[in-house]
Amino acid sequence: MPVIILTAIREPRTQVNIMTNVTEAFDAEQALGQAIAARIRDLRRDQSLTLDRLAKLSGLSKGTVVALEQGRANPSIGILCRLAAAFSLSVADLLNEHPSTVRLPIERTETRRLWTSAKGSSAQLHSSTSGRTMFELWSWVMMPGDVFSADAHSPDTRELISVSQGALSVVVGTHVEILSEGESARLVTDQPHSYAAASDVPAHFTMAVLERGGHRNPGHSSTAAKIQGHVP
């Protein structure tokens, strides 16, 4: 009997935690959308780009660009990456209203959660270089049942993955690998690829991505555009 009572107490607490996390994620997305709207307007004005020109450079529809600039849509990771490429910025600099023009030997960077799913999967961008060659550091959590699919990135894009908890299913083209806790892999992601938890527990992994500037093409979703299915 005590066990039944204990379960009845714990279950609502779990539900409250889930609702709190969902609400916090929604609020964060809304704040990000408003910040990006202002940033797009400023950058487009500074670079003298028309809406049509920005749409062409980013590979997005004009309607999507207008909605983003007016704060009526929340950008996915893929959209952020396309906009960054169009403005010749890294994703980190696109998100930073006042990017530093002084390059120091050591620079602190801000971690940003750029994606969450209804099941609790998430992607966080910890750091990103500026300039033509983009190098990014990410941490990911894939919940059981979630599949993250992406189209091909720019030619010769490379990813390094290391699984810290759980097991991760990695698909690149027709190749499939299951990475267990403590295992790592090198990927060439200039072809369709996907990630999913390979067991009934969440998969936690770290990802480093290198995209060479000489090959970048705004028509491709670049490094951050792994949420390709979420791009309108």
Residues 10-42 have pLDDT tens digits of: 444 444 454 455 566 556 667 777 888 999 999
What does the chain come to in residues?
A: 232
Query: Hunting for tokens 């908890």 — which residue is that?
Result: 165
% of the chain with per-residue pLDDT over 70: 75
- pTM score: 0.69
Report pLDDT for 132: 66
* Other Cβ atoms closer than 10 A to 62: 14
Beta bridge partners, 210, equal 135, 158
Average pLDDT over residues 42-70: 93
For residue range 74-108, list pLDDT tens digits in order.
787 778 878 888 888 878 788 876 665 667 788 88
Q: Could you tell me the maximum CA-CA distance found in the chain, to the nearest angstrom?
A: 71
CATH level 3 topology of 2-98+108-230: Jelly Rolls (2.60.120)
Report pLDDT for 4: 40
First to last CA, the chain: 52
Rounded Cα–Cα distance for residues 196 and 67 (Å): 31
Domain extent listing, the chain: 2-98+108-230
Beta strands per DSSP E along the chain: 112-116, 122-128, 134-142, 147-150, 158-165, 168-172, 175-179, 184-188, 193-197, 203-211
* Other Cβ atoms closer than 10 A to 164: 12
- Check residues 155 and 228 and name the one with the higher pLDDT: 155
Report pLDDT for 134: 80
